[in-house]
Amino acid sequence: MTKKEELEAQGFKTYENEDIQVFWNPKLCQHIGACVRGNGKVFDVIRRPWVDLSQAPASEIADIIDRCPSKALQYELLNPISIVFEEALDRAAAYDRGKQIGECEYSPSEKMWIISHTGVEPAYEGKGIARKLVLKVIEAARAKGVKIRPLCSYAKKMMSGKEEFQDVM
């Protein structure tokens, strides 16, 4: 069963384009408005349909949906990109059918990894790949019990002040 089939069986409605599927369940929505405040062009409660995925890149929409407190909004990114943690190279890397198209590199010490660079080839920007790369490094750091210091501008912006990442900072 795909995520779409699973969520639709639970009462979620689906909005989709070639990069992302967005799912919304009105019964779970607490009407707190984090989605509308995130981007009022994508999420407009007056318009029908109220979700317009053409108004922002998939990665931005995914970032906003991550802030939905009730999980009434969920998403699935649709690209055939694999994200791999490569400990021997001190990085997570993104591949499109075997071709490397991005990386998140860090300098390791015993108790801390300093993220020094996150980059994605221009043709692949706006698809949420950079975020997934950083998340992959965070996941590995958590598993090893080390902290992260995000020095590169992307990781810094993504992690700073975010409750979900405080345990590794």
| Identity at 125, one-letter amino acid code | E
Residue number, 33 or 108, with CB nearest to ligand SF4: 33
In angstroms, the CA 142 to CA 29 distance is: 31
What is the full DSSP assignment across 100-148? Answer: EEEEEEEEE-SSEEEEEEEEE-GGGTTSSHHHHHHHHHHHHHHHHT-EE
- Nearest distance in Å: CB 18, ligand SF4: 23
Alpha-carbon distance 17 to 64, whole Å?
17
**Identity of the residue, 42 or 141, whose beta carbon is nearer to ligand SF4 in the bound complex:** 42
Minimum Å gap between C-beta 65 and ligand SF4 is 8
Question: Which residues here bind ligand SF4, judged by CB under 6 A?
Answer: 29-35, 68-70, 72-73
73 vs 120 by CB, closer to ligand SF4: 73
Tokens encoding 132: 């997934």
Provide, rounded to whole angstroms, the least separation between the CB of residue 34 and ligand SF4. 4
For residue 96, the minimal CB distance to ligand SF4 (Å) is: 31
Task: Tell which residue, 27, 28, 2, 23, has the closest CA to residue 13.
Answer: 23
**Residue 101 to residues 22, 49, 63, 119, 157: CA-CA distances in angstroms?**
25, 34, 21, 9, 21
Shortest Cβ 21–ligand SF4 spacing (Å):
15
Nearer to ligand SF4, 51 or 104 (CB): 51
3-state secondary structure of 75: strand
Task: Please say which residue, 23 or 113, places its beta carbon nearer to ligand SF4.
Answer: 23
